[in-house]
Every structure is written in structure tokens, then in C-alpha cells.
Amino acid sequence: MTKIAFVLPYFGKFGNYFQLWLNSCKNNPTIDWIVLTDDHTDFVYPENVKVNYVTLDYVRERIERAFGMPVSLEDPYRLCNFKPLYGVIFDNLLEKYDFWGYCDCDLIWGDIRSFVTEDLLKKNDKIFQWGHCCLMRNEKRVNEFFKLPHPDVVDVAKVLKYPLSFAYDEASQCGKIFDMYFTTTYCKDVYNYDVFVPSLPFKPAPSMVGASCEKTIFSYIDGRIYGMTKKESELFTKEYMYVHLQKRKMKVLVAKSQSECDRYLIVPNKFIDYQDVTFENFSSFLPKCNFYLLKYKLFFEYYLDSVFDNKKTKSYVRGKMKRMFDRLLGRKPDC
């Protein structure tokens, strides 16, 4: 069986449902996770999750040794830029694996091997295209993809040097290099459910091209994730590789301790005890009101940042509104 490991450097306190994330890793025993963190909370780590207690400075030093240049890494969020480079940065930790991956922990895994089959691994060098989960073949030609030129991709030296968010781990950056040079061995299929951030009900994000926009709730049952949607007179169920709950402040309202919880429902915006979901009771799990403060908070923050350019983690890619104010106020790009 092809050996797979995900690498997750994370600094600061893990989220309030991190133990549920760990449980979902445990239910994928043929895959390993390598966690580097400074959070010493007494979580129940399963055998296939290897925790290394290190500092952000330690990771920065590893990156500087790997690339032979000073690196800007004052804020842990900047690690998003470096995710596709982990095959080089953490090469000694990944020696025994055929594939390595990067991922987030604001998600719950389903049965990964049901989707990432041996056939899929055999045919592809990179699997998936978004920053919350990607897999890459552990070979030098793949790990050093960043050496291949592309006119629309930021040079890796700039990514390492400047304190900006380049979204280098996403399809719009590193993905373009794989599109050009690994065209036939780059799998961009979507097996996950990515929840749309500004919507209180669970609806698909734009990354889920062609997905139904119906409201969805999820059940986690013995290591598998199922999404349920109500259409006309039927309740439809679909299995997913994972559900991504980006920027969601989730309440954990399960009766069991998180470390013992193997069945539950994921509804907006909480984890609750498992119960059967039927066509008749489906609507009772949805929010009574669809007003979502986060939606307006995100817009307000973007508007303020466009005017004052004051966001702590600045984005390299400027939107239309930001570019308009850049021109009006005579601001120049930071790099």
C-alpha cells in the first residue's frame, strides 16, 4: 500500500474541536500525520499522529537552511505560503513516504482511502488543488516544482522574503505550475465539501464547481462523512472525503467527551449528538434565521483594509477595490 503522510505545522492554541479532528485521523489508520506545534494541551493523540513540540523559530530556521536565504515568518498564518514547499523543508521527516500532503485542521476527515485509491495515486503526481488539502508524490522533480518558471506565478524567492499572503498553496499560484508542467498527472477532482464562508447555512464554496447550492448538514458515522440535502420530496445523501469548516466558530455540544465521540451531526454552527435525519425533521437542524454577522464583518474588514491598508496579514493579490484606492492614494505595492 502506498505510504502517505500529511504535515501540519500549527502555532498557537488549537481550535475547540481539534480532538474531533484527531479522532477523524485515527479512523484513517493507514495514513500518518506529522504535527509540529507549540500547543502542549493534553490531547489524546492517536498512534498515526506524530506530534513534535517545536517553535515557530525552529520552522523558520528549517526553511532558511533548505533555501539558503532569510525568510519572513513572524506570523504563523504566513505558513500557508510555504505549504507546497514542505517536501523540501521537512524532507527528513518524509523519507519513508511515497506521498506527502499539507492540510488544515478546521475540517473533519472521512474515509480518505475510499477516495484516494491506489489507482489514483499511481496515475498522479499531485492530487487536489486547494490549500486545505493537497497530496504530492514524494520525488525530487515534484517537490522542486517551484524551480519551474511560470509567467503568472510569483517567484518562490519573493514568497519566502516578503511578509505578505501570496496564497501560494492555492490553485491560482502553485497550481498553475502543475497545470503547465504536470498536465496529465495533476488530479483536480473535488471529493470534499468546502463550506462557503459568508453563509450561515452550510452551502458549497465556489471551489465546488457545479455543486448543488442546497443547504446541507453532515453526519459523522464511524469514520465516514455524509452530507445530506433536501430536494423537493427526497432526502439525498452523499459521502465526502472531508468537510472543511473554514472560519467557523463551532460549538461542541456532544454528550460524550470529544476523545470518545465517534458519531455526531455537524450542523450550523455546532457539533451535536448523533440522531437519525429524515426528510421530515431535516429543517429542524437548520438555523431559524439566516442572518450571519460574519458575512458583514468580512465585508467591513475588506472595505477598511482597502481604504487604510491596515490588515495585519496583507495580501499580495489586490482586489478591484484595493487597486482603486491604491491609485487614488498613490500607494505602491510592497514588493
pLDDT, residue 209, reads 76
Q: What is the pLDDT of residues 198-217, one digit of tens each?
A: 999 999 998 887 777 899 99
- % residues pLDDT > 90 (the chain): 79
CA–CA dist 256, 261 (Å, integer): 6
So what's the pLDDT on residue 34? 98
- What are phi and psi for residue 31, nearest 5 degrees? -125, 140
pLDDT at 312: 62
Q: Read off the pLDDT of residues 109-123 as tens digits, 9 standing for 90 and up.
A: 999 999 999 999 999
pLDDT confidence tier of residue 335, bands split at 50, 70 and 90:
low
The SS3 assignment for 324 reads helix
For the segment 137-156, what is each residue's pLDDT rounded down to a tens digit? Answer: 999 999 999 999 999 999 99
E-strand spans in the chain? 4-10, 31-37, 49-53, 99-103, 107-109, 126-130, 133-137, 186-187, 193-194, 216-221, 224-231, 234-240, 242-244, 251-253, 263-267, 270-273
Residue 1: pLDDT over 70: yes
| 135, 39 Cβ separation under 8 angstroms | no
Residue 266 has pLDDT above 70, yes or no: yes
Is residue 147 classed exposed, middle or buried when 0-12, 13-18 and 19+ CB atoms within 10 A define those classes? exposed
Domains of the chain: 4-187 (3.90.550), 193-285 (no CATH), 293-329 (no CATH)
Amino acid present at 15: G
Question: Using one digit for the tens of pLDDT, what is the confidence trace for 300-310?
Answer: 888 888 777 77
107 close to 133: Cβ distance less than 8 angstroms: yes
Q: Give the whole-number percent of the chain exceeding pLDDT 70.
A: 98
The dihedral formed by the CA atoms of 134, 237, 202 and 30, expressed in degrees to the nearest 10: -30
Q: What is the mean pLDDT of the chain?
A: 93
More confident residue, 261 or 303: 261
> Where would I find the H helices in 124-205?
140-143, 156-161, 174-181
Residues 155-187 pLDDT 10s: 999 999 998 889 999 999 999 999 999 999 999
pLDDT at 329: 78
Which pLDDT tens digit goes with each residue over 45-97? 999 999 999 999 999 999 999 999 999 999 899 999 999 999 999 999 999 99
User: In this predicted model, what pLDDT tens digit does every residue of 221-252 receive, in sequence order?
Assistant: 999 999 999 988 899 999 999 999 999 999 99
Binned at pLDDT 50, 70 and 90, residue 333 comes out as: low
Q: In this model, does residue 322 exceed pLDDT 90? A: no
